[in-house]
A and B are shown apart, each in its own frame.
Chain A
Amino acid sequence: MKIKNIISFNLLIISAVFNTACSDQFLVDKKNFENVNTEIYDYYSGAKGRVDDIYSWILPNVANVAWNNNSTGMADMDAKSTEEYSGFSQPSYVNPLAPLVTNTNDHTTVPDYFQYQTNIQVSVWGRIRNCNEAIHGIMNGSLSQDEKDELVGQLYFLRAWAYYNLVKYYGGVPIIKKAQDPVAGDDLTIPRSSAKECIDFICEDLYAAAIMLPEKWDGENYGRITKGAAWAMIGRVRLLHASPLFNRADDTGRWEIAYQDNKKAIDTLTYNGIYGLAYLNDPGINASNWAKMFNEVGTQNVEAIFLTLYNSEPTISGTNFNKNNNWEHDIRPSNALGGGW
């Protein structure tokens, strides 16, 4: 072999080695096995897992009455009256100087909804961040449009629900429509919107949800948000906005909108007879049929529109299958499936 040939042969080899060594494709191929990443949004099960996660943080948890859940069943004004009335009856709602309370279990004072700021799962802004993140993820994922609608519709509702609670306490709040990069120095400060803008934003979300969501879910998905629930929520939001709590000038236009939207809600809900008044003319002995409304699920219960479900799984150490409403169980008499006498 001549020297020249040797050199060219060598060069060939060298360049081959060089090419393999220099390619950085192997870097890009490395994966994170410890966690899943945004790829989950390309799969229905993954996207649904995110939606379910947000349900689990955002649904009112009546088993544990706390600052982040609406009062239910407590002997307080929230439970005993309409929302606007309870707002007036508790001076701190309408008195800007009354301090908000960080930890309230009795719900006789107005809770500070801004607590646990740094906990994405618990804080209200964290829940909104979760909604924004999942909406963005699903929209940019590769699911079919029908699947996207079904999932994103639920998220729009849940985001509206979080804003509805904020607006009820604070009036206008900043409207955050996308998950911001939590990196200091960027312009993260969003100015506060007016109450009306917030109400409109909430209703936009709910209109979108109403369009995307089905009238009813199959048995396994019972409990998810429906088209009717979205409309019902619109009615509730419009009514709150028309109430004296927000409508001090008593603008009749708001009442008109509230009326129209609530009427639309009833029409939607009762269309096909999916929803209606339960046991309308059949309250049973001692209204026992009406009491069933808190136990019955599925087609039997035509009155449950927006609900948090619990199960009867026992608490076993090492498992987390159970989700029990202990509070309800404790106060119910035993003949009504409760733990009391």
Chain B
Amino acid sequence: MKYNNRIKLCLSFFLAFVINSIAYAQNTQIYRAVVVDEANEPIIGATVKVLDTSIGIITDLNGNFSISVPEGKTVEISFVGYATQRISELKQTRIVLKEDATQLDEVVVVGYGTQKKAHLTGAISTVPIDEIQDLSSGSLATTLSGIVNGISVKDGQARPGENARITIRQNDVFGEYGARATHPLYVIDGYIYPSDVKVGNNEPNLGADAFNNLDVSMIESISVLKDASAAVYGSRAANGVILVTTKKGKIGSPKISYSGQIGFTDEVSRPKMLNAYEYGKLWNAVRTADPSDTSLNTLSDLFQADELQAMKGLNYDLLDKYWKVAMTQKHSLNLSGATERANYFADISYFTQDGNLGKLDYERWNYRAGVDLKISKWVKANLQISGDYGEKNKPFIKIGTENEEKDYNMLLNRPRYIPENVGDYPIATIGPTNDDNMNALQNYSFAVLQDLGNYSQDMTQNTTINTGLEYDFGWSKYLKGLKLKFTYSKSISTAKNNQFASSYEIYKMEQRSGSGSHLYTGLNDEMMVDENFKLSTGSVITNGNFLSRWMNRADNYQMNFMAIYNRSFGLHDVNGLFSIERSEFESEYVEAKRNDPYEFTNGQSNGTTGSSDNKFTRAESGSLSYVGRANYAYDDKYLLELLVRIDASTKFAPENYWGTFPSLSAGWIITQEEWFKKNVKWIDYLKLRGSFGLVGRDNVTAWAWMQTYALNQDKGPVFGTSSTNNSGSHITIDNQRQAVNRDAHWDKNYKGNLGLDFNVLNNRLSINLDTYYEWNREIFMKRNAEIPGTVGSQAAAENYGKINSWGTELSVSWRDKIGKDFKYRIQVNTGYSDNKVILMAWDSSMKLKSVYPNQRTDTGEWGLQCIGMFRNYQDINEYFDKYMKKDDGTFGTYLGLAKDKVHPGMLIYKDIRGEVKTDGTYDPNPDHIISNEHDLVKMSHRDNPYGLTTNLSAEWKGISLTAQISADWGGYSFLPGSAIKINALSGGESVRDKKYNDLQYTSMPSFWKDMYVYENIYDAAGNLVVAENHSAKYPNLRFSENSESSTFWRVSGTRIKLNRITIAYAIPKKYTNRIGLENCRFNVTGQNLLSLYNPYPDNFIDPMTKYGNYPTLRKFTVGVNVTF
């Protein structure tokens, strides 16, 4: 059917309902009263409704209302956080609302509708929006960490514009096994964002992007579906679902509220590195550590005594020079209001976060506007448009390989005796031997690239339109409770990236100062002549040297036709939903690139001289689903829910389009039982619930079922009689396309969950306990070579893997009042989770580190067992005699080294066992050989299995405090690889065979100043430059054997962090009212505040940061919220 016809149809549909509306009038009475809370403070904005009519109003600034009530009708007064009251005898003039600790009347958004919290049977958590409203973040997901039990949040705390990633329960483990889908599904205002689509070369999760781009001031609620209750989203629900509802207007006069936030961001900590002098000594000690190395020239290879003396006064700390505290701010303005017939709202919000390093920033605009109309008593319509516009600027760095962390890493690692410039010449990171050809990264220069303005800029724009039309059959005696609803939502996302990459010159010096010619300072005039400065590597350094631009556009719509039934028959509550859902997605992408821009390039294609390259692609997909839900509650006591979703997706072969995902859950509110109420008085609320269902994991690339071919231009065979005939085009099956499995379909994920909700001590203590078990079946996984070679291709991936996962989540919260004014709440979230792999493509030859059947996906950390350090040759002799002597009298090797290659300053490892035997098991007897294959021990069983997050809040007369502290423990951590060995800079290995040379352009963390030195080191003039250090804590960096993963580098895994604190003050209403404000509140918020325990040596890094990467940012913000 054509699009036009569809619109006509909708219109006539709409008209048909309008005609049905009926108006009427009755006798009325005016009812006036004041609404107060238990502390006798007026409640402003409480909703007063006359039941079974459309009459309603809200209380004014003094808590007063006046409403006309038709004869015989009941008035209902409700306010968030308070128990709703119904008044039928309209005489009471002072209505006291009681705080509702259990909030059982609270409505929770579930898939395709809402449900009373009391009637929930699944594991559905809600995010308390007021606890995250003061947090500053460019990525909404970061604010959820620690707030919802069972979800974890990663990243998003460092570079501006970086998105965080949410994992519900254990769904991240599948990523390690080739699973593509590990994000939860995001549903915003009923619109399911596409998560499994292709845009250009990427498969972005548009839902996660949309979620991270939301501004918290626009959000009414966030629900997290963790168990089989997600089955209503069928094939995409295995990773859990996050449902967001945005704010609507509230009945009453229009409101304008502003919330603003301004603050600064700074590093949580900076890695402690060696100073110039310590670095010089370290180099000398490393260079001389191998006594068998005869190539040592003590004058040219070592820093001389005078040079070291001079280095004591040098400190070219480039990171310190360029790192700056950056600003962040947010402003949002919300307008809203509602009358009986219309509900309107509009928001705009602006967020910006500057970078702490060079030209790096992120800014975003969000907007949203909409209206809900009640066209007649039985017809409702709504329209909402929302969107965001973001811009992210980053440096572009392609020295060596492309890696955006290089700026921070190279600034941090540069030895501090090398200045950035000498005279006008920018200086490459060239060390003692003046070798400029060790690693491309030596030629990185932060300042030069900043001056050149090499950049990468991303601009994104997303628009979503939601429309809906609802018709209520409330006028019919029989169809009462039935509603029909049609919704149509569409999102359009565009993204654009511009890159500018150029080339530059950087220098080395032929002659340098100091008696060994190692220093760049204290230069004489002869050294400052231009001839002394040569291009590093002898040529221009290219940082990519191109201009490029790509753009894409992705369109998706979702159309639902829904029938909703909701009716109570006496004690029976019946609820049902049926929906047909259809969605289609398409995306297009275009990119273009031109090489060799002029120095004066205008950034456009005509500003280049080189070759060009361009590309454009398209992708499309569609899905059709049938959704059904039925709820039944008897007397608010027995609850039952049945969900079914049938999904079809164009990802699969037509015969595999369809999948069915059912779930069943039930609950029993024991405290509603009369016999329980009578006998057990101390329990205020007790609910048992359980769910079981099947959902899908969308793990298969679209079209993977189909044999496809690559169109290869050229490179083919030559035919014809001319010797200039091209090597022609051909159509090939390459390695990506060779193994096709037509039967590919969704992974199956069976979810079981048992839950207990429990309130005691007059509802002050509440406990939520959920325990789950998930059976992941038919996981789409690659096979190892399990088919005969005669087939001629790799084995196709298949739906065959099996992983079980399980866990328990416990949330305990205590809320109480002390005296009249002091209220507080302590909430502790904790849990434990585990899993086992039942079937997967096992390693073809099982190693110690391999995953074995029925073992955890996290195989822990394996390494050598360190039992000390060789401090002299006698240690080595004793060790070899005792452990390494074979039966035939010869010595075994130590990590491949014969005894004469083993030197003091190396770590001693324990010989654990022998080699692997033909049957795959290991010889348990030590074989007098130390090997990093078979002498490994399990150093840590798994990542921290235990964790605890505490959320605190307290309030006293308008002053409130909230804080979050988290701890996790039970595993071990290891020093980062790049901190314990030379040659681990981002961007690759040295071209030199002697790896210690990489130390020439890489400084090391501060703890290395206590490094083992075998004997005193003298320079060419015979001066002592480094004293022997036999009692050192750390082995000599020279020997790469020391950086093998081993127990020596193990530290406690325990982490205790103070994540955030907010202190807020709300000006009492009696003052704000006088100046016409409804509400005025100030807050000071700190995020990523402190690590209370640091296991690292010399505290060289903070556990919140990653060594060598842009650090996690600590943020302090001051905010204000004003409502008029």
Interaction A to B: yes
> Which residues of A come within 8 Å of B, CB atoms?
1, 6, 9-10, 13-14, 16-18, 20-22, 24, 26-28, 30-38, 40, 46, 49-50, 52-53, 55-56, 59, 114, 117-121, 123, 125-130, 133, 174, 176, 179-185, 188-190, 219-224, 297-298, 308-313, 318-323
- The smallest C-beta distance from B1032 to any residue of chain A, in angstroms, reads 47
A10 touches B720 (CB 8 A): no
Residues of A with C-beta under 8 A to B622? 26-27, 30
- Quick one: closest B residue to A59, CB to CB? B717
Can you add 14 more A-B contacts, CB < 8 Å, to A27-B648, A120-B735, A321-B727?
A10-B13, A32-B702, A49-B731, A52-B719, A118-B794, A120-B734, A176-B790, A176-B792, A181-B742, A183-B798, A298-B721, A309-B719, A313-B724, A323-B715
B738 touches A183 (CB 8 A): no
**A18 and B561 contact, Cβ closer than 8 Å, known pairs A188-B787, A222-B720:** yes
**A20 and B657 contact, Cβ closer than 8 Å, known pairs A6-B16, A182-B795:** no
Question: Which residues 724-744 in B have Cβ within 8 Å of A in the complex?
Answer: 724-735, 737-743
- Quick one: closest A residue to B707, CB to CB? A38
- Quick one: closest A residue to B701, CB to CB? A34
- Quick one: closest A residue to B563, CB to CB? A14
- Quick one: closest A residue to B584, CB to CB? A26
Residues of B with C-beta under 8 A to A123? 789, 792
B708 touches A174 (CB 8 A): no
A183 touches B795 (CB 8 A): yes
Provide the bound-state CA to CA distance between A114 and B710, in Å. 25
- Quick one: closest B residue to A131, CB to CB? B792
> Taking the complex as formed, is B785 at the interface, i.e. its CB lies under 8 A from any CB of chain A?
yes
Of listed A16, A128, A181, A219, residue having the most chain B CB within 10 A: A181
Provide the bound-state CA to CA distance between A50 and B733, in Å. 9
> Taking the complex as formed, is B484 at the interface, i.e. its CB lies under 8 A from any CB of chain A?
yes
> Taking the complex as formed, is B19 at the interface, i.e. its CB lies under 8 A from any CB of chain A?
yes
B792 touches A120 (CB 8 A): yes
Provide the bound-state CA to CA distance between A183 and B793, in Å. 10
> Taking the complex as formed, is B976 at the interface, i.e. its CB lies under 8 A from any CB of chain A?
no
29 contacts between A and B (CB under 8 A): A21-B561, A26-B582, A27-B649, A31-B620, A35-B710, A35-B737, A38-B707, A40-B709, A52-B716, A52-B717, A52-B719, A53-B716, A55-B717, A56-B716, A59-B717, A120-B738, A120-B794, A121-B732, A121-B734, A182-B739, A182-B795, A220-B720, A222-B721, A309-B720, A311-B726, A313-B727, A320-B714, A320-B727, A323-B718
Provide the bound-state CA to CA distance between A22 and B712, in Å. 40
Residues of A with C-beta under 8 A to B713? 320
Of listed A16, A27, A179, residue having the most chain B CB within 10 A: A27
> Taking the complex as formed, is B559 at the interface, i.e. its CB lies under 8 A from any CB of chain A?
yes
- Quick one: closest A residue to B658, CB to CB? A24
Residues of B with C-beta under 8 A to A190? 788, 790
A53 touches B793 (CB 8 A): no
Residues of B with C-beta under 8 A to A10? 13, 16-17
A37 touches B708 (CB 8 A): yes
Provide the bound-state CA to CA distance between A181 and B12, in Å. 52
A181 touches B727 (CB 8 A): no
- Quick one: closest B residue to A46, CB to CB? B731
Residues of A with C-beta under 8 A to B740? 181-182
- Stretch among B45-53, B611-619, B916-924, B1069-1077 lining the A interface: B611-619
A30 touches B620 (CB 8 A): yes
Residues of B with C-beta under 8 A to A38? 706-707
Residues of A with C-beta under 8 A to B720? 219-223, 309
- Quick one: closest B residue to A52, CB to CB? B730
- Quick one: closest A residue to B486, CB to CB? A17
Residues of B with C-beta under 8 A to A27? 622-624, 648-650, 657
> Which residues of B come within 8 Å of A, CB atoms?
1, 6, 9, 12-13, 16-17, 19-20, 198, 484, 486, 559, 561, 580, 582, 584, 611, 617-624, 648-650, 654, 657, 702-703, 706-721, 723-735, 737-743, 783, 785-796, 798
Residues of A with C-beta under 8 A to B732? 53, 121
Provide the bound-state CA to CA distance between A320 and B716, in Å. 9
User: What are the nearest 9 A-B pairs in CB distance?
Assistant: A129-B792, A35-B708, A49-B731, A320-B714, A298-B721, A53-B730, A125-B792, A323-B727, A120-B738
A133 touches B733 (CB 8 A): yes
A297 touches B721 (CB 8 A): yes
A121 touches B735 (CB 8 A): yes
B733 touches A130 (CB 8 A): yes
Provide the bound-state CA to CA distance between A182 and B783, in Å. 10
Provide the bound-state CA to CA distance between A33 and B713, in Å. 17
A34 touches B619 (CB 8 A): yes
Provide the bound-state CA to CA distance between A219 and B719, in Å. 9
Neighbour of B714 across the interface among A35, A221, A319, CB < 8 A? A319
- The smallest C-beta distance from A172 to any residue of chain B, in angstroms, reads 13
- Quick one: closest B residue to A1, CB to CB? B19
Provide the bound-state CA to CA distance between A64 and B611, in Å. 30
- The smallest C-beta distance from B85 to any residue of chain A, in angstroms, reads 38
Neighbour of A174 across the interface among B623, B649, B790, CB < 8 A? B790
A223 touches B719 (CB 8 A): yes
- The smallest C-beta distance from A70 to any residue of chain B, in angstroms, reads 17
A53 touches B620 (CB 8 A): no
Residues of A with C-beta under 8 A to B788? 188-190
- Quick one: closest A residue to B728, CB to CB? A52
Of listed A16, A21, A298, residue having the most chain B CB within 10 A: A21
A6 touches B721 (CB 8 A): no
